[in-house]
């Protein structure tokens, strides 16, 4: 029997060694479970509309920055025009997002959430916000700033200006 086959039926994932004890496997595992649960409630709501996480991301940023140009959204999401076009078309067709021409450049497409899109965004965000608030409430007072700094530290340094532009780092 090969050495790796010894762990095939072991349920305790902590018993499997990475071979590099410096890896933050505990934090990585916690990220997995936190992300799974953070997105789970929203996924169920999105599924009822035949939407997925890409739709949620578009709704999030369009609600965060009404009038956002399509080009900015592409830059933030790091997806192709083709991928965004499909998701955006569904959101527009179902009445969640509308496109308006740019003010100075009529070829520019500016994105706005409709009343339906704003309400759905609030519903999606409510469960996620309550999960974040509950987790931070159990920590010392300065923890929100520490958690924010930690998450900013996880973002590629080249993208930090985008965080500032979206006001995601205010209060640091």
Q: Are residues 149 and 74 in the same domain?
A: no
Q: Does residue 143 belong to any structural domain of this protein?
A: yes
pLDDT cut 70: percent of the chain above it: 88
- Distance CA(123)–CA(45), nearest Å, equals 9
* 123 lies in the same domain as 162: no
Smallest CA-to-CA distance from 91 within 64, 121, 69 is with 121
The kind and range of the H/E element at 42 are helix 25-48
Residues 99-146 have pLDDT tens digits of 998 888 888 899 999 999 999 999 999 999 999 999 999 999 999 999
pLDDT digits (tens, 9 = 90+) for 93-108: 999 999 998 888 888 8
Give CA–CA dist 95/75, Å, rounded: 24
Place of tokens 């920590």: 139
Q: For the chain, how many structural domains are there in total?
A: 2
- The model's pTM: 0.82
56: CATH: 1.10.10.10
Q: What does the pLDDT look like over 11-45, one tens digit per residue?
A: 455 545 556 677 889 999 999 999 999 999 999 99
Take residue 104 and report the two structure tokens written for it.
């100075």
Q: Single out the residue of 107, 126, 108 nearest to residue 118, CA to CA.
A: 126
**Residues 111 and 60 sit within 8 Å (Cβ to Cβ):** no
Does residue 161 lie within any of the structural domains?
yes
Query: Could you tell me if 167 and 94 lie in one domain?
Result: no
Secondary structure (3-state) at 112: strand
CB 97 within 8 A of CB 60: no
* Residues 92 and 75 grouped into a single domain: yes
């Amino acid at each position: 029997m090969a050495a790796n086959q010894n762990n095939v039926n072991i349920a305790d994932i902590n018993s499997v060694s990475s071979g590099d004890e410096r890896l933050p496997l505990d934090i990585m595992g916690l990220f997995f479970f936190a992300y799974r649960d953070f997105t789970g409630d929203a996924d169920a709501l999105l599924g009822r509309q035949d939407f997925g996480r890409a739709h949620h991301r578009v709704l999030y940023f369009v609600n965060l920055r009404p009038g956002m140009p399509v080009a900015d959204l592409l830059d933030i999401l790091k997806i192709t025009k083709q991928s965004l076009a499909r998701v955006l078309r569904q959101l527009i067709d179902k009445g969640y997002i509308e496109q308006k021409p740019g003010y100075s450049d009529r070829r520019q497409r500016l994105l706005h959430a409709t009343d339906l899109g704003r309400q759905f965004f609030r519903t999606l965000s409510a469960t996620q916000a309550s999960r974040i608030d509950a987790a931070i409430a159990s920590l010392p007072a300065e923890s929100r700033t520490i958690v924010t700094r930690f998450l900013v530290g996880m973002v590629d340094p080249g993208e930090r200006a985008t965080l500032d532009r979206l006001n995601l780092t205010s209060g640091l």
